[in-house]
Amino acid sequence: MWIDRLTASRTMHALELAARFAEQRQQVLAENLANIDTPDYQTRRLDPNAFQASLHKALAAARQDGQRRLKLRGNAQFATEPDGEIRVRPATEPAPNVLFHDGTNARLEQTLTDISRNAMSYEMSTSLLRGKFQNLLRAIRGRTE
């Protein structure tokens, strides 16, 4: 449909992927926080910096091939499926501390900081996406109010 061609821009797909990644990461962080008192629990993580780097590469590659869909490749933690979904496999975080005898590496402050940062990055993606949709709406209505 013609509307698909309007919405299937690379920027929109990039923003969508960023939002989906933040959504998945929110689950991982929720699990880390939920298990803050569980003995032997090893925290899991999705690396946001690796995601950003991968997204950057995918954007560059898509721009070169004239593709509208982005493909995230080359990272064990996340990849895009053919249907556009993002599949994640969180890694177990290495536990460098020797404080707890069960080797757990739960850090409340770190987890809470990550949660705030993740929520902000989600907000950024959704606000930019919303701006995009509003632009489209303005074009459809033919007026700028």
Partner 1 sequence: MIRALDISGSALTAQRVRLDVISGNIANAEVTRQEDGTRVPYRRRFVTFMTGDGQGGPGVHVDEVALDASPFREKYDPGHADADPRGYVQLPNVSITMEYVDALAASRAYEANAAMVGVTRTMIQQALRLFA
Interface residues with partner 1 (CB under 8 A)?
19, 22-23, 26-27, 29-31, 33-39, 41, 108, 112, 115-116, 119, 122-123, 126-127, 129-130, 133
Rounded to the nearest whole angstrom, what is the least distance from the CB of residue 13 to partner 1 in the complex?
A: 15
For residues 93 and 105, the answer to whether their CB atoms sit within 8 Å is yes
User: Which one, 33 or 62, has the nearer CB to partner 1?
Assistant: 33
User: Which one, 18 or 71, has the nearer CB to partner 1?
Assistant: 18
40: left (phi over 0), alpha (psi -120 to 50) or beta: left
Give the H or E element holding residue 79: strand 78-80
For residues 42 and 36, the answer to whether their CB atoms sit within 8 Å is no
Place of tokens 């910096």: 49
Give the phi and the psi of residue 27 in degrees, each rounded to 5: -65, -45
For residues 78 and 86, the answer to whether their CB atoms sit within 8 Å is yes
User: Which one, 54 or 114, has the nearer CB to partner 1?
Assistant: 114
User: Which one, 27 or 97, has the nearer CB to partner 1?
Assistant: 27
Rounded to the nearest whole angstrom, what is the least distance from the CB of residue 98 to partner 1 in the complex?
A: 21
Rounded to the nearest whole angstrom, what is the least distance from the CB of residue 72 to partner 1 in the complex?
A: 20
Rounded to the nearest whole angstrom, what is the least distance from the CB of residue 32 to partner 1 in the complex?
A: 9
